Amino acid sequence: MSTDTLSKLAIDSGVVMWRELRPMLRDPFSLTFSLVQPVFFLALFGPLLAANVEVPGGGSVWQWFVPGILVMTALFGTSMTGSNLLFEMQTGSHERMLVTPLSRSSLLVGRALKEIAPLVAQAALVVVVMIPFGFELHLGGALLGLALLAVFGVGLGALSYALALASRNQDWMFWTVQQTLIFPLLILSGMLLPLQGAPAWMEVLSRLNPLRYVVEAERALFAGIIVDPAVATGALAAAAVAAVGLWVGTRMMRRA
């Protein structure tokens, strides 16, 4: 790719990203509501977890649970985002964008990058809300944790858009695939409940789940542990998801 193509991709992606972000900023109510959801979840699920489960390695249940919730928020938010594209394909606004000189790749990259904004805002809110309840903030690690989450979110968002492009003529397929995949990914990552004591086959499956490494890296980072094999593996897993997602997504968008 020449620098010309790259700079056009960057500019175009910026246009697409800004178009996607604007309605969110224009509609503070929907934004606030989406920010509050993970907090509700945390408030309801956390106490039950604390009462029933012994957190691996001991320590505060929040310290263990909050990073998992952040990844879960990212998982739900970004895996559903393709439905927005699906809707725009049905109404005709995606087609209109395809006739403009915007590069095909930017239509995917810009949308995927936009995922960072709500994701980081939600994560930051969850962390801030949890501090009074005894959640210990290690700023350096937390910032790195958010960055890792952003990379992962871009990748998953891109995959969700790819799924939307693949199911353009049968929209049920999008939801079927998304719903079928999300719970195995969720449970086999040890995000909500520890995987310790799980049967061997689950252990094997969870090793194949990139999400598991992202969750483990987030837990290390939010505990302030930066130099750790778990962080490196998690970063690798997030980068791999992003690379695969963007590659598959831009390929499909170019063929659209």
Partner 1 sequence: MIHAEGLTRHFGSGKATVEAVRGVDLEVTAGELVAFLGPNGAGKTTTLRMLTTLLGPTAGTAMVAGHDIHREQAAVRQRIGYVGQGNGAGHNQRVGDELVSQGRSYGMSRADSRARAAEVMEQLDLGALRDRKVMTLSGGQKRRLDVAIGIMHRPELLFLDEPTTGLDPHSRANLWEHILQLRADVGTTIFLTTHYLDEADAMAERVLVMDHGRVIAEGTSEQLKADLGGDRVTVSVAREADADRVVAIAAQVAAVHAASRPSQRQVELRVTRGDLALAPLVLALAEASVQVVGVDLQRPTLDDVFLSLTGRSLREGGREVPVADAASGAPSATLSPATDLVSEGAAV
Binding mask 111-150 for partner 1 (x = CB under 8 A): ----------------------------------------
Q: Which helix (H) or strand (E) holds 181?
A: helix 171-187
- The distance of closest approach from Cβ of residue 94 to partner 1 in the complex, given in angstroms and rounded to an integer, is 9
Structure tokens given for 155:
């990748």
Q: Give the whole-angstrom CA distance, residue 20 versus residue 47.
A: 36
Among the residue ranges 37-45, 56-64, 97-105, 236-244, the one whose residues contact partner 1 (CB under 8 A): 97-105
Binding mask 30-69 for partner 1 (x = CB under 8 A): ----------------------------------------
Structure tokens given for 221:
């980072």
5: nearest Cα among 123, 121, 97, 105: 105
State yes or no: residue 255 binds partner 1 (CB under 8 A): no
Structure tokens given for 109:
């990259």
- The distance of closest approach from Cβ of residue 102 to partner 1 in the complex, given in angstroms and rounded to an integer, is 5
Q: Give the whole-angstrom CA distance, residue 172 versus residue 168.
A: 10
State yes or no: residue 15 binds partner 1 (CB under 8 A): yes
State yes or no: residue 28 binds partner 1 (CB under 8 A): no
Check residue 136 and report its DSSP letter.
P
Q: Which helix (H) or strand (E) holds 142?
A: helix 139-166
Residues that bind partner 1 (CB under 8 A): 11-12, 15, 18-19, 22-23, 26-27, 87-88, 90-93, 95-102
